[in-house]
Structure 1
Amino acid sequence: MTKAKRRWSQAVSEHSDAMDLKEGVFKSDDPRKIAASIKHSTEASRRRKSGPFRSAMSMLSFYIYRAGDQLTKKKKNTLEQAKEELRNDFGRETKR
């Protein structure tokens, strides 16, 4: 596989028109801060193609899948909790 094909997710992160995230947002250990930052970014963006909730969840899921096995269980759990916080912030049903 060529180097360019292996790094497609990095290119998406760097050049995506979806939204501009605050730098280091995924480094936080607080799921509420992560969710609040992503929510703010999606609501402020005028370049997104879908609604704010869908864009926010897509960006968070993309990050989780992109990181893959590099995520510790603790960090993945924090990001999954951030998804629940996003659902609450947008008034959506929580996943059970």
Structure 2
Amino acid sequence: MKKADHPSTRRKGGRPARQRHAQASSAKARAQDTNGATKRWSQQVTDSSDVLDLESGIFKSSSAEAIALSLKESALRSRRRKGTPFQSAMSMLNFYINRAGRNLPKSRRDTLQKAKGKLREAFGRKP
């Protein structure tokens, strides 16, 4: 059996899968609105979410404790949250980490992971 005939390289209709770069360019084209501006839904969620009113630039802080305390204050102050303050704060921190993905440097990821532990401590949760 040739590699091209292998089932994993063929789609249902018998045609080969698209090249990755072709998919990326079409996804990029779909991400642009009519004005040519790129839609960044994750930025919109961060800016205008009903979850928390975050301190500007808090995730850029180099202190895990400062990040945790700021998230705690924001969660306790917010009246628009659906869950508990702890759930809202942890959710926003996880959202930021997940959306950054592979673009997040290891040092930043480590700081944010430490902030998760500090956030648990700040709310009196077990680590």
Q: TM-score, with normalisation over the residues of structure 2?
A: 0.70
1:3 counterpart residue number? 31
1:27 counterpart residue number? 60
Q: Which has the higher contact order (CA 8 A, sep 6+)?
A: 1
Cα displacement (A) at 1:73: 0.3
Q: Which runs of 4+ in 1 moved over 2 A?
A: none
Alignment of 1:79-90 (within 5 A): 79-90=112-123
Aligned-residue RMSD, C-alpha: 1.5
1:77 counterpart residue number? 110
How many aligned residue pairs are there?
94
Which consecutive residues of structure 1, in runs of 5 or more, have no partner in the other structure?
A: none
Query: What percentage of residue pairs aligned between the two structures are identical?
Result: 52
Distance (Å, rounded) in 1 between the aligned partners of 2:48 and 2:65: 26
Provide, for residues 4-35 of structure 1, a one-character-per-residue CA deviation record: whole Å limited to 9, x for no partner: 6x632122112211111000101111000000
Cα displacement (A) at 1:76: 0.2
1:63 counterpart residue number? 96
Looking at CA atoms only, which structure, 1 or 2, has the larger radius of gyration? 2
Among 35, 39, 47, the alignment partner of 2:80 is 47
Cα displacement (A) at 1:68: 0.8
Distance (Å, rounded) in 1 between the aligned partners of 2:31 and 2:48: 17
Distance (Å, rounded) in 2 between the aligned partners of 1:14 and 1:33: 20
Provide, for residues 46-91 of structure 1, a one-character-per-residue CA deviation record: whole Å limited to 9, x for no partner: 0111100000000000000011111110000000000000001111
Instruction: Identify the structure with the greater helix proportion.
Output: 1
